Structure 1
Amino acid sequence: MRHVQHDSTPDHLSDGPSRGAGAESLHEADRIDGFGTDVPATLSWAVRVGAERGVDRSLSDDWSFLAAVASRDVGAARILEPHLDALDILDQAGRDGYDLDLASIQAGSESSWGVFAAEGAGMRLEAHDDDSGWRLTGTKPWCSLAQHLTHALVTAWVGDARRLFAVAVQTPEVTPHTGPWHARGLRQVVSAPVDFAAAPAVAVGEPGWYLRRPGFAAGGIGVAACWWGGALPLRDALAVAAQREGADQLSRLHLGRVDAALWTARLALRSAAQEIGRLPEASHPATLAARVRAIVAGAVETALAESARALGPLPLVGDEAHARRVADLEIYLSQHHGDRDLARIGADIAEGRGAW
């Protein structure tokens, strides 16, 4: 069953509802059969969304849109977010003066993009520059949707430094694995290793640019906006339960806890959009991103726990959309680094960085 959004659900972070191209894209999403579960159809929609985005949009608008997509289907947001993040990275590289010959890897407006930046034990992707240009060789872990994408931005090692590269995925030099992927949540978003055998690539920025750029923090918070939007229907379900005849105080208690947690997360996202928008004046964007992700992750964990306690097992076994949303959120939220991010915040404060 398709999630029907309640008027009371504040899935927008700005002061007004979605308008313009974003609103039209959401209306189109509502007409797609299998939105979020049909990967080719959802990915084609994501490519159209990326092509239609305006240049004058704000971070608040971007994150509101991601949240609205996740409130419809968590899997759809998981498919859309890295594509838009890749487009933002390429745009920023152009603004920073890097001349990218993307035509050499047949990348264009119809390309679908992923971002593969994870590292894994026993796996290493290296980049070498020969007479014909850059080549990638090795294995990259956790490459989401590699079997479906046309292109990806990939971090690879150049000596002791990591550098970002654009690469075509559907070529003989690139072999995506089909697994292992035994997940019960986000089952359609397979995140498995990819083997590269001297695959042609285009350097994006200098070594270390990908992690140093201000947009890195904004991208991390965009993922948190997806988590938050994905949890909003759980609040709706609790509201429905609390409105039933005979509902007791406990049902209202669970709803109140979730509402307060998600409302706090919304405030954190809105504040971050305003602060990051003042870059480079905003100090230590990585600390800000870690704080926001911690707040949002905690709120979503509260929503998952309280909805399980309040609603019991029935929706998990009798409501396919609810059960899938819970499973998808649990897998998606596992991207959060949790205690490590909190330790990083503590280190920043202890060393005099990231003051309020």
Structure 2
Amino acid sequence: MFHRSLLALLFGLLCASTVLADDVPSSAQSSPWSPYPMVPESEFVSGSSSVWIYDEQFQPVAMQESCCDTLVGCGDSFADGCGDNIGSGRKSPLDRCIPRSHLPLPLCKDIAGDRAEKLLPPLGTSYVFTSLDRNVAVSDVRLSFGANLPVSVDRVEVPTTTFHAVSHVSRIDLWVFPCVNVYGIVGHTQTKGDVAVEVDAFPLPTSGPVLIRAPVNLYGPTAGFGVTSVVGGDCWFASLDVNKTWTTFNRLDSSLTALVITPRVGMIIESRFFNGEVHVGAMYQDTAQTVELTIDHAILGNDLNVRVDQFEPNPWNFLVGTMWALDERVQVILEGGMGGRSYVITGLTLRY
């Protein structure tokens, strides 16, 4: 399985605010159709609501702070304030069609300190697309015909082969603690490549060198799980993501596994035009395993069983990426890797 989980969904911070009024009058004005002065029911100063007080002649005489932090909080089910106990105080267009989960998570919010109010909704679903090229080296090749046991071939040479993999993955994640996110993934993976094996003295000691080409076009379902731990401040974060996946490819007798470890460090950005983060990091993949194939060869014959012990000669790669928070419930991710392997990951996340 050749993908990784994206995690950098933790620090998408919404700084856009809801505009309640374009202009707020600073004094009362007379109305041509009313015997009483026309005064605002509330006036907003620095994000607070101020209420006019009237005398017995209904003349405005004073102004005091209301009990509500903002007008949108008064009785509004999506913001904090008077009569409100739902939501984080930040509205999203998604609220109109997809409700929030209202889960009592994450636990131990107090450890986030002043940043607790900026925590993302705890439940998330994502679609992630990955296109990856990686090099594979071979440590041993075993051959056999029919039901015979494969035997190692001493005089064999296998050049490093480049495989191209594409995966489509759905992911569900949950913030259990402010610094711990757990997730599960399920999807589909396809990988292609062309393995060239040059064998000498097979099947007979007097046999000359033979070039065996084994085209690989494998596909199948992928499933796995992972955990992300995070620390950070107002403008930075560091994370460590670990996940393991299993892919059941067609034409193979067993599932192939991948262990992926990804440390990242990044900067949180809150501006008028961009809210999200940018990060750099590295990725480690442990994909050492045995690939078993049965092929028909024009010279050696049919039903040739090939077992190849493969590994990645460069398990680490450098990465750079970003996450753009359209609001606190919708995020877009983009990440690229280079070095030991090259890849592009893009995805969309909805939070509840």
Q: Normalized against structure 2, the TM-score is what?
A: 0.21
- TM-score normalized by structure 1? 0.20
The structure whose residues are more often strand, as a share, is 2
Q: Which has the larger radius of gyration?
A: 2
Q: Which has the higher helix share?
A: 1
